[in-house]
């Protein structure tokens, strides 16, 4: 299979020219090993018992190998991390070592590597990596070029977006048949519950209580639902529900395993500061995982029946999925741009911004709508924010939707962008 270019490729190659050792971290199946192996001259995989034994007894073999050396599944022999860290202190040359692997065991006592081994996070495919469009509107230019104007046409409609959600952003899963994808994603979830916890030093005495918590969290993606409510949802009418201390433990463990992620609230200054709420917005590694946990199919989402009152429920969930798809892309672009991703909601709930990409005094505000049409009410919060904070920040405003035309509104300079055209 041909290698699909990733957003991380360029910054990884550039960093490797300047730095002696880099860790590519992230969840299983996001493509870490494949990406790193394209830069490596020597690959040492620790899931090979012979390689593991060699490096356990003779870590100096790393230094004599042709560089860069890729140490894959490094968490299986975490002492190698300390060995490389000491070699960095001793003057290890740039471009020497790449580490890949999943989370280190929670009870392993290793040095963080701060100041010696940098960490770069890899995630599932963004919109650009999914090749959802022939051309893209650049988030980089939206951030850095005040004169930049969106333009172009997308062929994607809501049905195409839902197809993408259920295909997932996992390189080895998304191009399989729909039945195979369903089975593989379900197995991915089961592995988290039945194997990954134990392999990484966590304990889930009742696996079904972990599943219950994950289902409750999946239902809250794209929202600022409090953790108390998520726990209460998991506990309601469920004999296998977790206690609150157990649920808190699950949350921390799933963050370490890269399965769940929270977008923090924007910390503004000046006029914005008194109005802020601190609640984070919740997302999962991939929205396809959330749908598997909730046992929801694409057909259920698109089977609207107003008489049975399921239309609004489905509409709300589709909105959460579109926002999750956008998050999955924006966090990748933010990493590549060395920027930060936030959301905004004032303490009274009167004004919300779905996402804010920040780099210093430069902000890009994003509102996400499932409706392909554009209404003035959709951009009201974007304009309110700019009016309040425009003197403190350089602000670009973007309405992301499922429409097919990208353009700039003349009346308020809001960039209207189809989600499928959201690129780096």
Q: Domain ranges in the chain?
A: 9-121, 137-423
Measure the CA–CA gap between 241 and 14, rounded to whole angstroms: 47
The residues pairing with 416 across neighbouring beta strands, listed in sequence order, are: 399, 407
Sign of the alpha-carbon torsion through 400, 402, 404, 410: negative
pLDDT above 90 coverage of the chain, percent: 73
> Which of 181 and 312 is assigned the larger pLDDT?
181
Q: Which residue pairs, CB below 8 angstroms and at least 24 apart, start in 78-87?
A: 78/104, 78/105, 78/108, 78/110, 80/46, 80/55, 81/110, 81/111, 81/113, 81/117, 82/110, 82/111, 83/59, 84/21, 84/117, 85/21, 85/111, 85/113, 85/116, 85/117, 87/20, 87/62, 87/63
pLDDT at residue 112 in the model:
52
Bigger pLDDT: 114 or 80?
80
* 264 pLDDT more than 80: yes
Mean pLDDT value across residues 345-356: 87
Report pLDDT digits (tens) over 23-35: 999 999 999 999 9
- Residue 238 pLDDT > 80, yes or no? no
- pLDDT at residue 48, rounded to an integer: 96
Residue 259's pLDDT is: 95
Q: pLDDT band at 16, cuts 50/70/90?
A: very high
Q: Which of 66-80, 98-112, 132-146, 280-294 has the lowest mean pLDDT?
A: 98-112
In the predicted model, what is the mean pLDDT of residues 139-153? 97
Q: Are 47 and 41 in contact (CB under 8 A)?
A: no
Structure confidence at residue 413 (pLDDT): 97
**pLDDT above 80 for 123:** yes
- The third-level CATH classification (topology) of the domain covering 9-121 is Rossmann fold (3.40.50)
Average pLDDT, the chain: 90
- Tell me the C-alpha distance between 349 and 212, whole Å: 29
pLDDT of residue 306: 45
Q: How confident is the model at residue 107 (pLDDT cuts 50, 70, 90)?
A: very low
Confidence of residue 304 (pLDDT cuts 50, 70, 90): low
Judge whether residue 299 has pLDDT over 80. Answer: yes
Given a cut of 70, whether residue 271 has pLDDT beyond it is no
Say if residue 247's pLDDT is above 90: no
Please spell the DSSP secondary structure of 304-324, one letter per residue. --GGGT-HHHHHHHHHHHHHH
Confidence (pLDDT) at 235: 76
Reply yes or no on whether the pLDDT at 346 is more than 50.
Answer: yes
Query: Sign (positive/negative) of CA torsion 108, 111, 116, 118?
Result: positive
Give the lowest-confidence range in 88-102, 240-254, 285-299.
Answer: 240-254
Q: What is the pLDDT of residue 309?
A: 46
pLDDT score of 378: 97
Which candidate, 363, 124, 140, places its Cα nearest to that of 259? 124
| Average pLDDT, integer, range 349-358 | 92
Question: Which tens digits make up the pLDDT trace of 148-195?
Answer: 999 999 999 999 999 999 999 999 999 999 999 999 999 999 999 998
Report phi then psi at 124, rounded to 5: -60, 170
Residue 237 has pLDDT above 80, yes or no: no
Highest mean pLDDT among 209-223, 234-248, 327-341 belongs to: 327-341
Question: Is residue 81 scored above 60 in pLDDT?
Answer: yes
Which of 29-33, 310-314, 364-368 shows the lowest per-residue confidence on average (mean pLDDT)? 310-314
Region 270-297 average pLDDT: 84
What integer pLDDT is reported at residue 199 of this predicted model? 77
Report the alpha-carbon distance of residue 310 to residue 301 in Å, rounded.
9
Please tell me the least confidently modeled range out of 6-20, 110-124, 368-382.
Answer: 110-124
Beta strands at 118-121 and 21-25: parallel, antiparallel or unpaired = parallel
Mean local confidence (pLDDT), 72-101: 94
What totals of helices (H) and strands (E) does the chain contain, helices first? 16, 16
pLDDT score, position 121? 95
Contact status, residue 133 vs residue 154, Cβ threshold 8 Å:
yes
Peptide bond connecting 68 to the previous residue in cis, omega within 30 degrees of 0: yes
Q: What confidence score (pLDDT) does residue 114 get? A: 59
The half-sphere exposure of 197 on its side-chain side, counting CA atoms within 13 A, is 21
Model confidence at 273, in pLDDT bands (50, 70, 90)? low
Report which of 196, 192, 209, 217 is spatially closest to residue 246, judged by C-alpha positions.
209
pTM: 0.93
Q: Does the pLDDT at position 120 exceed 60? A: yes
User: Using CA atoms, how far apart are residues 400 and 421, in angstroms rounded to an integer?
Assistant: 9
């Amino acid at each position: 299979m041909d290698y699909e270019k990733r957003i991380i490729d360029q910054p990884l190659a550039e960093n490797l020219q300047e730095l002696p050792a880099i860790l590519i971290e992230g969840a299983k199946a996001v493509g870490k090993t494949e990406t790193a192996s394209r830069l490596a001259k020597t690959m040492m995989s620790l899931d090979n018992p012979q390689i593991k034994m060699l490096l356990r007894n003779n870590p100096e073999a790393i230094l004599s190998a042709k560089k860069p050396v890729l140490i894959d599944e490094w968490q299986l022999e975490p002492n190698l991390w300390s060995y490389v860290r000491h070699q960095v202190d001793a003057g290890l040359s740039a471009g020497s070592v790449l580490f890949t692997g999943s989370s280190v065991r929670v009870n392993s006592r290793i040095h963080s590597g701060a100041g010696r081994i940098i960490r770069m996070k890899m995630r599932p495919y963004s919109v650009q990596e999914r090749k959802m469009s022939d051309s893209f509107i650049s988030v980089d230019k939206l951030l850095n070029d005040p004169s930049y104007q969106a333009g172009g046409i997308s062929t994607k409609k809501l049905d195409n977006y839902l197809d993408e959600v259920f295909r997932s952003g996992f390189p080895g899963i998304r191009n399989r048949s729909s039945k195979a994808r369903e089975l593989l994603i379900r197995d991915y979830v089961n592995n988290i519950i039945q194997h990954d916890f134990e392999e990484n030093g966590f304990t889930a005495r009742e696996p079904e209580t972990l599943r219950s918590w994950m289902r409750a969290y999946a239902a809250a993606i794209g929202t600022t639902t409090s953790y108390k409510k998520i726990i209460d949802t998991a506990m309601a009418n469920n004999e296998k529900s977790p206690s609150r201390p157990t649920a808190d433990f699950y949350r921390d463990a799933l963050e370490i395993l890269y399965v769940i992620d929270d977008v923090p609230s924007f910390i503004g200054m000046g006029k914005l500061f008194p109005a802020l709420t601190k609640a984070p917005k919740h997302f999962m590694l991939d929205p396809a995982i959330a749908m598997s946990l909730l046992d929801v199919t694409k057909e259920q989402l698109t089977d609207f029946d107003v008489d049975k009152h399921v239309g609004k429920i489905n509409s709300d969930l589709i909105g959460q999925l579109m926002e999750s798809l956008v998050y999955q892309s924006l966090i990748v672009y933010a990493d590549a741009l060395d920027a930060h991703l936030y959301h905004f909601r004032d303490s009274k709930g009167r004004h919300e911004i779905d996402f804010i990409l920040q780099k210093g005094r430069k902000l890009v505000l994003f509102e996400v709508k499932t409706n392909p049409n554009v209404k003035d009410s959709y951009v009201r919060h974007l304009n309110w924010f700019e009016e309040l904070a425009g003197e403190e920040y350089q602000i670009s405003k973007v309405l992301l939707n499922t429409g097919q035309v990208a353009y700039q509104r003349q009346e308020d300079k809001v960039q209207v962008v189809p989600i499928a055209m959201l690129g780096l």
